[in-house]
Amino acid sequence: MFTPAEIEPVFYKAMVAGYASDVKPTTIAELPNSNVIVFEEGFWKVVDIWFTPPGTPNSFGNTIIYGKDVAVWTMHYWGEYPKNDVLCVLKDVLLNEYKLRALEIKKSNQVFNGCRGPRVHNLDGAFKPYCYINMLCPNSSFANFSGREEIYSDKYTVINPRLLGWHEYHGFML
């Protein structure tokens, strides 16, 4: 029905306008504690829904892309991020990557990063000394991928950095 090349730009456009940009999520009454952000453009609809059980740093979620009211792609993620600076670091890294991808999606030499952040990013400025790492499984593509992202307490090169938060993820065409 749709190709990955048609769907991928929709994903990045929706993510720039989604969670990482601090859009206030809504909720679904039948799903207590749900957080939902919906992006619509033309015949595309992107639904990002996630849950963070009260009193825990744990979270899980699902992003679904619909084309002409048919689910055509999904990504699942789960892990834990405390609600503090580490979550702000995650949002900053993701938003910067999504903006970059939204602008560069048509470039043929673009490296796929599993719909998350860059492979390694040592943060400076307000988020120093955090380090974001994205470990994507080999042979991954927008059509089928999996990996794990982590945020550490210091630059990745430091001996014994402390793991502060992580998500595992996978996504695929339907």
37 vs 129: which has the higher pLDDT: 37
Question: Is the model more confident about 83 or about 33?
Answer: 33
Q: Is 139 left (phi over 0), alpha (psi -120 to 50) or beta?
A: left
Residue 15 clears pLDDT 90, i.e. is over it = yes
| Local confidence band at 71 (pLDDT 50, 70, 90 cut-offs) | very high
Q: What percentage of residues in the chain have a pLDDT greater than 70?
A: 89
**pLDDT 10s digits, 76-86:** 999 999 888 88
Q: pLDDT (tens digit, 9 = 90+) per residue, 38-64?
A: 999 999 999 999 999 999 999 999 999
Write down the pLDDT at residue 127: 55
Long-range contacts of 113-121 (CB under 8 A, 24+ apart): 114/140, 114/145, 114/146, 114/147, 114/169, 114/171, 115/11, 115/15, 115/75, 115/142, 115/145, 115/169, 115/171, 116/147, 116/149, 116/167, 116/169, 117/90, 117/93, 117/149, 118/93, 120/156, 121/93
Question: Is pLDDT above 90 for 25?
Answer: yes
Average pLDDT for the chain = 90
**Residue 105 pLDDT:** 66
- Local confidence band at 157 (pLDDT 50, 70, 90 cut-offs): low
Amino acid type, 111: V
Peptide bond into 57 cis (omega under 30): no
Using left for φ > 0, alpha for ψ between -120 and 50, and beta otherwise, residue 68 falls in left
| Higher pLDDT, residue 7 or 109 | 7
| Pair 12, 116: CB distance under 8 Å | no
CA-to-CA separations, 119 to 4, 30, 39, 115, 147, in angstroms, rounded: 21, 37, 26, 11, 11
Euclidean distance between CA atoms 43 and 26, whole angstroms = 22
What's the pTM value of the predicted model, to 2 decimals?
0.91
